[in-house]
Amino acid sequence: MKIIATYNIKGGVGKTSTAVNLAFIAAQNNYKTLVWDLDPQGASSYYFRVKPKIKGGSRALIFGDHELDGLIKATDFENLDLLPADFSFRNLDLVLDARKKPTQRLKKLLKPLKKEYDFIILDCPPNISLLSEAIFEASDILLSPIIPTVLSLRTLEQLKKHIKDSDLNHIQLIPFFSMADRRKKMHREIMGDLNDKHPEVLSTTIPYASDIERMGWERMPLGSYVRKSPSTEAYQELWKEILDVI
């Protein structure tokens, strides 16, 4: 069992799209998979058409004694379940802060689910916060989508430094390029540059594509409304490469 967090300090880089589409592929390959939507905006819950609501909200989650299992919803896809978001997650940081050992909390909550699932994918909100500290503690893998911009190099290095400074040795950081446009000279140059300095960046990139953008309209994972396209292939490739490196 592996816990994978799709994480980036920055917003709108493709974390949710990655979480949803990779989970879909994993499930199709007979891995029991759970997506946990930790973002109060509830984007991944929305893609799976599940109400972004959990009983008791953040407080019940962090202070309550019920188990996560009771909050899980099956999606429309075999082997793929969802733990929905809740609007109250916008206060998750404060609620966590009021607890003893706040950064251990998610890890503890997830423990009983390890038997049940082969992969648990955490769809994280952007920022570095107490919640992201807790996510780091719980995760085996930080899967980090990067848009090839001039600032992306700095963001990646910041994240690496943070992992190192916080002694998060259990974490495997896996960056990859997201929303990349190979036709743009700048994208190509930045990707080449980054690949040289950071060989751990995956060789698969997710292109900027209109069929991926359409997910919000279709409200389902890419693979369930597009049978085959460069985008579906890219996600398949990405999944394969991730399985290879973990």
Partner 1 sequence: MTAIPLHFELPENLTAKKFLAKLSKKLNIQVADQQYTIKAFYDSFDWRLYNARMICEFNYSQKKSQVRLIDLNSGDVLAIESLKNVPRFYDQFPTGHLKTHLAEPLEMRALLPLCKLPYEMYCINILNKDKKTILRIQLEEYEQLTNQLHLLPLKGYDKTVKKVSGMLQKSFELKPTQASVLKEALKGHGRKPKDYQSKLDIKLMPGIEVSKASKIIYLQLLQAIKINEAGTIADIDTEFLHDFRVAVRRTRAGLSQIKYVLLATEIAQYSEFFAWLGEITSLTRDMDVYLLNYKKYKATLPVSLREDFAPLYEFLKEKQSQAQKKLAVNLNSAEYKKQLLDWEHFLKKSLPKKGKGSSDQFNIKKLSDQRIWKVYKRILQEGGSITEKSPAEALHDLRKTCKKLRYLIEFFQSLYPEEDIKTILKALKGFQAVLGDFQDYEVQEMSIKHFSEEMMENKVPPKTFLAMGVLVQYLDSMKCKARNEFSDQFVLFEQANNQRIFKKLFAHKSSVKK
Contacts with ligand ATP, residue ranges (CB under 6 A): 11-17, 39, 43, 126, 178-179, 206, 208-209, 212-213, 215-216
Closest CA to 44 of 34, 32, 57: 34
CB of 76 to partner 1, least distance (A): 4
- 116 close to 32: Cβ distance less than 8 angstroms: yes
Dihedral sign of CA atoms 42, 44, 47, 51 in order: negative
Backbone dihedral region of 80: left (phi > 0), alpha (psi from -120 to 50 degrees) or beta?
beta
- Binding residue (CB under 8 A) for partner 1 from 11, 66, 67, 78: 78
Q: Which of the residues 180 through 239 are near partner 1 (CB under 8 A)?
A: 219
The interface partner of residue 11, options being ligand ATP, partner 1, Mg ion, none and the CB cut-off 5 to 8 Å by kind, is: ligand ATP
Whole-angstrom distance, CA of residue 22 vs CA of residue 26: 6
Binding partner 1 (rule: CB under 8 A), the pick from 9, 72, 130, 163 is 72
In the complex, least distance from residue 124 CB atom to ligand ATP, rounded to whole angstroms? 8
Instruction: Find the length of the chain.
Output: 246
- 16 scored as a contact of Mg ion (CB under 5 A): yes
Among Mg ion, partner 1, ligand ATP, none, partner that 198 touches (CB below 5 to 8 angstroms by kind): none
Residues 6+ apart with CB under 8 A from 168: 136, 137
b/e map 147-175, b = 16+ CB within 10 Å: bbeeebbebbeebeebbeeeeeeebbbbb
Among 212, 197, 191, residue whose Cα is nearest residue 146:
191
41-49, 51-59, 139-147, 218-226 -> range binding Mg ion (CB under 5 A): 41-49
Minimum CB separation of residue 194 from ligand ATP in Å reads: 17
Beta bridge partners of 141: 4, 172
71 binds partner 1 (CB under 8 A): yes
19 near Mg ion, rule: CB under 5 A = no
Least Å distance, CB 18 to Mg ion, is: 9
Which parts of this chain interact with partner 1 (CB under 8 A)?
30-32, 48-51, 71-74, 76, 78, 81, 219
Which parts of this chain interact with Mg ion (CB under 5 A)?
15-16, 43
